[in-house]
Structure 1
Amino acid sequence: MQRRFLGLSVPALVLAAAFAPACSWGQARPAGYPTKPVTIIVPFTPGQSGDVLARVLGDPLAKRWGQSLVVDNKGGAGGTLGSRAAAAAPADGYTLLLGSSGPLASAPNLYANPGYNPRELTPIMNVAGVAQAFVVPANSPYKTLAELLAAAKASPNLLSYGSGGVGSFQHLTFELLKQRTGAQIKHIPYRGSGPAYTDLIGGQLNAMVDSLPGVLPHVQSGKLRVLAVSTSRRVPQLPDVPTVAETGIAGFDALGWLGIVAPKGVDPAVRDRINADLKAVLADEAVKARLDGLGMIVIASSPAEFGKFIDSELSKWGSVIKAAGIQPE
């Protein structure tokens, strides 16, 4: 576990606490919220996309609230340990969860009892999406996704793809592609993306799909070639790369996402206040530029929209998991 305070120094916190009741910060604070530091649990280790996003949001939120924001990394078990801790926290708005498609949509379909129910958490905002990219080694004979899939159909399970683990978003995205096309490509799970990249670049794997922040450094260094992106639209970082749908697989869309939820029962006024402040932060040009540089797509949904989205994602990836017969390790 790693904890970091973002934003204000101790003297600044003292001054902020003294003057907070007199400050409107653009709108009335429900029940004075927040009057103490707020914790965002990130259910993954430092350096991953969710952790980076929490830090990008942390400083501007701390300044806006006049309170420090603590990023608490609770990694383990595919994000379920941190998610479980957040779900069990008091429903006062002072413990939030930086949730993602893994622990909030995939894990509940993989584990009989992950220790929390995503549908019972308080949705606050789907903050950002993260496009995935299908990649092959730079010296691969496959120049397009269609060529890769044709080879896989001609020789079932001769080709292989790697992922960061069973049930990871990488795994499920590739399985969705297989289900939509009928191609048979063998899955090789790793304990994390790093070893998978090593074998992909070394030629021991034929393909992989991963988030843009993960693949871009290897593409820019000339070690990997991008065949297609998983989103419904092309991404600014790779404007010449087609979407999977553009290659002939109509309607294909697999967007990784990162959003803020809270324990069940948080006051709607507090929920809406956090949503409004997040929207203000995400509207800042400097924040938008940082997220764009990370390959993240700002979504900034309402709480209601996020709740419906989580429900649809649970159903979508549950169907993929069932059809593929995926079992947790």
Structure 2
Amino acid sequence: MKKFLKPLLGVLLGALIPLHGALAQAYPNKPIKLIIPYTPGGSIDTVGRMVADQLQRQLGQAFVIENRPGASGMIGSELVARAPADGYTLLFNASSQAYMPLVVARKTYDAEKDFTAIAQVGYVPLAVVTHPAIAVKTLAEFVSLARANPKKYTWATSGLGTTSHLAEEIFKRELNLDMEIILYKGAVPQLTDVMGGHVSAAVSPMPGVSPFLKSGKLRPIAVTSSKRLAQWPDVPTVAESGLPGFELLSWYGMWGPANLPREIAERLATEIGKAVKAPALQARFNDLSFETVETTPAQFAKVVHDEIIKVGKVVKAANISIEP
């Protein structure tokens, strides 16, 4: 019996190998839904649409953007986690995808087990901004003003558990600021209320906030990168402003549901790598201080894993726990 089974097994395995390749070549053969779990117009939406537009040129299939905001991004993420693992429902999100389960009192998804990491797209620093009417030009000046006037000034955040929210929580605790953090459903309403003078300050990723800095509707008082930005050389870093060694970046990527076929994940990762190198996108990314990266699914999964460990230590030390 063994004598006959061995050749048969070899034939079956040999037949399966071409099928794996055929799966990747046949994909995609219909439009792909891309869930962005925040409101239109913010940094995640801006970058996600740029990448999706380039991908549909390369793959010859439409990417249908669906904004599903709510619960600080968890509603959109959960939709993807429950979707069929066939590559036709994907998620474009930022580092908050990994951070949310660390800060919510009741975890609704596991950032590693419930998703397939496809590719990291890049990362970007955040800007600390205020309304121009507030008489400060640096974060150090704003800290002095806020300490002298407890409870007078407020933070706006784009969502609980976002990089914006984590930065503001760290500032409150480490810089001894008595400032309420007010929640918004995305960066657009967050920044709109700062521009309207309803909230004093915010921390927001550069792609979404850049147009308002250039128009003078918002004033940058610090950046969260370890070095000053070439586009804003006069704006100090947070590390220069009272928190030595501070660096916090928002990174973006694409995920699918758990158990996405390896061939599809790898095909998408390869195409994303090509997309972010497209000259038209590179020019826009440079203008937004967005640094692109190319990763395999395995490399991106490691990024997610390492970030969960690193930020988990910060969350625990700061005792951050929220109800979305």
Mapping for residues 88-127 of structure 1, pairs under 5 Å: 88-107=82-101, 109-114=103-108, 116-120=109-113, 121-127=115-121
**For the Cα contact (< 8 Å) 1:137–1:223, is it kept in 2?**
yes
Letter in 1 for 2:65: V
- 2:110 maps to a residue whose letter is N
**Counterpart code for 1:34:** Y
Counterparts in 2 of 1:29 and 1:273: CA distance versus 1, 3 Å: farther
Instruction: Give structure 1 stretches of 5+ with no counterpart.
Output: 1-27
Does the C-alpha gap of structure 1 residues 81 and 137 become closer, same or farther in structure 2, counting only changes over 3 Å? closer
Sort the Cα spacing of 1:187 and 1:81 in 2 relative to 1 into closer, same or farther, 3 A.
Answer: closer
Q: Map residues 86-165 of structure 1 onto 2, 5 A cutoff.
A: 86-107=80-101, 109-114=103-108, 116-120=109-113, 121-165=115-159
- 1:327 equivalent to 2:317? Answer no
Root-mean-square deviation (CA, aligned residues, Å) is 2.7
Q: What secondary structure does 1:118 align onto? A: coil
Equivalent residues in 2 for 1:62-81 (5 A)?
62-81=56-75
Which stretch shifts more, 37-46 or 81-90? 37-46
For residue 235 of structure 2, give the secondary structure of its aligned residue in structure 1. coil
Of 192-201 and 29-38, more deviation after overlay is shown by: 192-201
Q: Which runs of 4+ in 1 moved over 6 A?
A: none
1:258 aligned residue: 252
User: Quick one: which amino acid aligns to residue 226 of structure 1?
Assistant: P
The residue that corresponds to 1:300 in the other structure is 294
Secondary structure, in 3 states, of the residue corresponding to 1:71?
strand
| Alpha-carbon distance in 1 for matches of 2:85, 2:204 | 34
Query: Which amino acid counterpart does residue 113 of structure 1 have in structure 2?
Result: K
TM-score, structure 1 normalization: 0.79
Per-residue deviation, 1:127: 0.6
**CA separation of 1:236 and 1:303: change in aligned 2, threshold 3 A:** farther
Task: Give the drift of 1:136.
Answer: 2.1
Name 1:32's counterpart in structure 2: 25
8 Å Cα contact 2:132-2:218 kept in structure 1: yes
**Is the CA contact (8 Å cut-off) linking 1:80 and 1:107 kept in structure 2?**
no
Question: 1:281, CA displacement in angstroms?
Answer: 1.4
Map Cα deviations across residues 202-223 of structure 1 (whole Å, 9 max, x no partner): 5454322222234333322333
C-alpha separation between the residues in 2 aligned to 1:191 and 1:93? Answer: 27
In structure 2, distance between residues paired with 1:129 and 1:161:
23
2:36 corresponds to which residue?
Answer: 42
Equivalent residue, structure 2, for 1:14: none
Q: Which amino acid aligns with 2:323?
A: P
Distance in 2 (alpha carbons) for counterparts of 1:206 and 1:68: 41
Q: CA deviation at 1:134?
A: 0.9
* Structure 2 counterpart SS, 1:119: coil
Question: Unaligned regions of 5+ residues in structure 2, if any?
Answer: 1-20
Contact 2:105/2:321, CA 8 A, preserved across alignment: no
Could you tell me whether the CA contact under 8 Å between 1:30 and 1:273 is conserved in 2? no
Partner residue of 1:18? none
> Is residue 208 of structure 1 aligned with residue 202 of structure 2?
yes
Moved more, 129-138 or 195-204: 195-204
Measured in 1, the distance between the counterparts of 2:36 and 2:196 equals 32
Match of 1:228 among 222, 225, 243: 222
Q: For the residues of structure 1 that align with 2:136 and 2:105, how far apart are their CA atoms?
A: 36
Amino acid corresponding to residue 217 of structure 1 in structure 2:
P
How far is the alpha carbon of 1:190 from its aligned partner?
4.1
SS in 2 for 1:272: helix
Q: CA–CA distance in 2 between the matches of 1:63 and 1:221?
A: 32
Letter in 1 for 2:271: D
Size of the alignment, in residue pairs?
301
Shift in CA distance, 68/233, structure 1 to aligned 2, threshold 3 Å? same
Match of 1:327, as an amino acid?
I
Contact 1:106–1:317 (Cα < 8 Å) also in 2: no
Inter-partner Cα distance in structure 2 for 1:155 and 1:166: 25
Q: Distance in 2 between matches of 1:277 and 1:191?
A: 31
